[in-house]
Chain A
Amino acid sequence: MLLEIRNLSVEFGPVARPLCAVSDVDLEIGAAEIVGIAGESGSGKTTLCAALVRNLPKTARVSGEIRFDGRSVNEMSASELRQLRGREIAMILQNPMTSLDPLFTIGNQLGEVLATRCDVPTARLREREVELLRSVHMTAPEQRLRQYPHELSGGMRQRVLIAMAGSTAPRLLLADEPTTALDATIQEEILVLFRELRDQRGTAIAIVTHDLGVIRRICDRIVIMYAGRIVEEGPVEVVFAAPRHPYTRALLASVPVLDGDRVQLQSIAGQVPNLADLGDFCAFADRCPLAVDQCRTRAPIASAFGDRQRVFCWRAGEVL
């Protein structure tokens, strides 16, 4: 396994009344695998990503273990972390404007990445920069190198970031809401780039998003988070066809579809719970139509189904 997370918990706030942004997460990502991490705001998906590269604020209390390629991320020294971030694990964030420096040209910023991370000699920088932009299908790459971020559209900026992330042929790419700010046709193009990166460089990709459509379109496996915990995980075809956790079912039933007859939407009653108020029981119990007494007293344990599907629900095994 490329990435192994065991019992990861991240807490913030006072020790007596902690806010658990991530609790007891077990997750594995294999080489060249594309995994979608789905969840609503406050479900802990972004905190999970930050924990992977040890990029949490100092106030966070982390427990559990993260192993990348067999090495423990928690025990890495500063120089090992520098090697990890950017070279072995690349990141792409939601807003492509804030990830680029407005004062430097695209060529400047690409050159910096190539020189520091890939040790490209100055004489060959230009050539490699153009190559990189070609690899993400940018039109007129020579001209783009002289442009500033504000001269590019959102989709083109995201392409530049993917080019930067891919320049080191990272083992793992963390993409946090990479397509949320983009139009549908551009989003499709960005997803194609992700798949090319995986196919050509063997990069594993973790896409964090609330858009189930994106996950269905490109991912091999889906991990669904709710209130800081994993509630269900499994191969995309299996989970979308036969979701087992009531939250997954409700989530899929609350999204209108374009094909087929008009269906009645099902909404999920209630609100996402406050992370500070969670007890040691199922976090979805309050909104769950199937909740029984056990759900409100004990945290559900994982039940495994078929091919790598795991569900954290006391009633997952029942035919419903």
Chain B
Amino acid sequence: MIATQQNAVAARNSEPLVSLSSLRKEFPARKTSAFGVRRKVVAVDDVAFEIRAGSTFGLVGESGSGKSTIARMILKLERPDAGEVRFEGRGLWQQTRAQEQDYRRNVQAVLQDPYGALSPRLKIRDIIGEPLSVQRKGRAEIDATVARLLQTVGLGKDAGNRYPHQFSGGQRQRIAIARALSVEPRLLVLDEPVSALDVSIRAQILMLLREMQQRLGLTYLFVGHDLAIVRYVSEVVGVMYFGRMVEIGPADDVLRHPRHPYTQRLVSIASMRQALGHERLTGELPNPLAPPSGCHFRMRCPYATERCVDEAPLLRESSDAHRVDVPRGRVDVPRGRVDVPKGLVACHYFAEIEAGTKAATGPKPQRPA
């Protein structure tokens, strides 16, 4: 596997494999009447981050925060309305035909629902081999690769002759991973890959993903809502709220010492540090058709002020850049290190909140129009 060697080398140098700059995506909303104004929903609003080769970037947020839209833009399934996605420095929408083919091979996806992801009419052998036949590989080569992949993801050889309905959810997710790996990609986009699986199976798939990363030098974008799982797989974490990135930084830093009030609330709930009912959800969720001015979180934030109403906070540095070990774990491969970015927080008052000097002022509701 020559590509694997290349991947492993790439994993050690710290150039970003993927970089997103000022990314924006809008979707048109349905008109309420024939004479109504055509309104739009901003799904992703000025988002920028980098994914280092050989590392995992975890993207966290509640439903509707725009994390799947970002995943789809990286997969080149949606065209951004502004900003750019670059892969190895080259913009996705400036690719030639040949470059695009190459890109589609280099980037593969594993999605949430392992039942919808596999064609019920194809045998597993054909499902895993399909990307290879698209790449015009010969029958013998396809068969050999499929057999190897089945073994890699921990399924028996005879699995190739069976159909998807004969497998459980966890096994199907293994098949989806094998299919993604068949064309030796560099980047895997994992959109909630374990959310639909049973608890005891989740750990198997997470461990498989980590082992694959170490063995093949893969780069992951891991989209998830379970903070503990995202922390387990990621070196760098970005937290999204309502289309904007509110906090980004090293996973341990962000998820153990969150600085943005929204991240703090998420972490407080997930870690169960506070008794049930200690922190109540105050205020209301923003309306995507009429987003609030200023900071999107101010309507639920315990620390909001007039400034949060007038001025949207920019991401500001909260900690120094440093290097973290990657990959981790027990498998015997040389450990590499990657640079992780500086911690960034989009809140006017994160320093005061951290120092404990910011008074709780309560949320600032939407001003009446």
Q: A271 touching B280 by the CB < 8 A rule? A: no
Residues 245-271 of B at the A interface (beta carbon under 8 Å): 252, 255-256, 265-267, 269-271
Q: Report A133 CB to chain B, min CB distance, Å.
A: 15
Is B207 touching A183 in the complex (CB atoms < 8 A)? no
Asked whether A272 lies within 8 Å of B203 as measured between CB atoms, the reply is: no
Which residues of A have CB within 8 Å of B203? 254-255, 265-268
Partner of B269, one of A40, A188, A266: A188
Q: Provided the pairs A213-B272, A267-B200 are in contact, do residues A192 and B277 lie with their beta carbons within 8 angstroms?
A: yes
Question: CB < 8 Å: which of A184, A254, A255, A272 contacts B62?
Answer: A184
In the assembled complex, which residues on chain A have CB atoms less than 8 Å from the CB atom of B199?
40, 210, 212, 251, 254-255
Residues of B near A153 (CB, < 8 A) are 285
CA distance A8 to B276 in the complex (A): 33
* Residues of chain B with a CB closer than 8 A to A189's CB: 280-281
Check B232–A186 contact: CB distance below 8 A. Answer: no
A93 at the interface (CB under 8 A from B): no
CB pair A259–B256 under 8 Å, yes or no, is: yes
The size class of the interface chain B forms with chain A is 35 or more
Q: Which of A184, A216, A251 contacts B200 (CB 8 A)?
A: A251
Contact of A195 among B256, B276, B329 (CB under 8 A): B276
Q: Bound state CA distance, A258 and B62, in angstroms?
A: 17
- Name the segment of B38-46, B223-231, B346-354 touching the other chain: B223-231
Determine whether the beta carbon of B328 is less than 8 Å from that of A259.
no
Choose among B225, B228, B252, B277 the residue with the greatest number of A CB atoms under 10 Å from its CB. B277
In the assembled complex, the CB of A157 is this many whole angstroms from the nearest CB of chain B, namely 14
Closest to A265 in B: B203
Instruction: Flag whether B101 is at the interface (Cβ < 8 A).
Output: no
**Shortest Cβ gap from B195 to chain A (Å):** 10
In the complex, the answer to whether A258 meets B228 with C-beta atoms within 8 Å is: yes
Is the pair B231, A258 in contact by a Cβ cutoff of 8 Å? yes
- With an 8 A cutoff between CB atoms, is A257 at the interface? yes
Interface centre among B198, B201, B256 (most CB of A within 10 A): B198
A259 to B329, CA, bound (A): 18
B337 within 8 A of A: no
Q: For chain A, what secondary structure do more than half of its interface residues adopt (helix, strand, loop), or is it mixed?
A: loop
* Residue from B204, B206, B280 in contact with A268 in the complex, judged by beta carbons closer than 8 Å: B204
Q: Is the CB of A258 within 8 A of B255?
A: yes
- Closest chain-B Cβ to A227's Cβ sits at a distance in Å of 12
- Chain A residue nearest to B196 in the complex (CB): A41
Contact partner of A218 (CB less than 8 A), chosen from B229, B266, B276, is: B276
CA distance A66 to B281 in the complex (A): 39
In the complex, which residues of chain A have a beta carbon less than 8 angstroms from the beta carbon of B281?
Answer: 185-186, 188-189
Question: Are B269 and A257 neighbours in the complex by a CB distance under 8 Å?
Answer: no
Q: How far is the CA of A88 from the CA of B232 in the complex (A)?
A: 43
B276 touches A272 (CB 8 A): no
Q: In the complex, are the beta carbons of A258 and B267 less than 8 A apart? A: yes
Known contacts: A255-B228, A257-B228, A262-B232. The answer to whether A185 contacts B277 by CB under 8 A is no
CB pair B232–A264 under 8 Å, yes or no, is: no
In this assembly, does A139 line the interface, its C-beta being within 8 Å of a C-beta of chain B?
Answer: yes
Which positions in A face B, CB cutoff 8 Å?
40-41, 139, 153, 183-189, 191-192, 195, 210, 212-213, 216-218, 250-251, 254-259, 262, 264-269, 271-272
**Chain B residues near A (Cβ < 8 Å):** 62-63, 168-171, 198-204, 206-207, 225, 227-229, 231-232, 252, 255-256, 265-267, 269-273, 276-277, 279-281, 284-285, 328-330
What are 27 A-B pairs with beta-carbon distances under 8 A? A41-B198, A153-B285, A183-B63, A183-B225, A184-B62, A184-B270, A185-B265, A185-B269, A192-B276, A192-B280, A195-B277, A213-B272, A217-B276, A251-B199, A251-B200, A255-B228, A256-B232, A258-B270, A259-B271, A262-B252, A262-B328, A265-B206, A267-B204, A268-B200, A269-B204, A271-B168, A271-B170
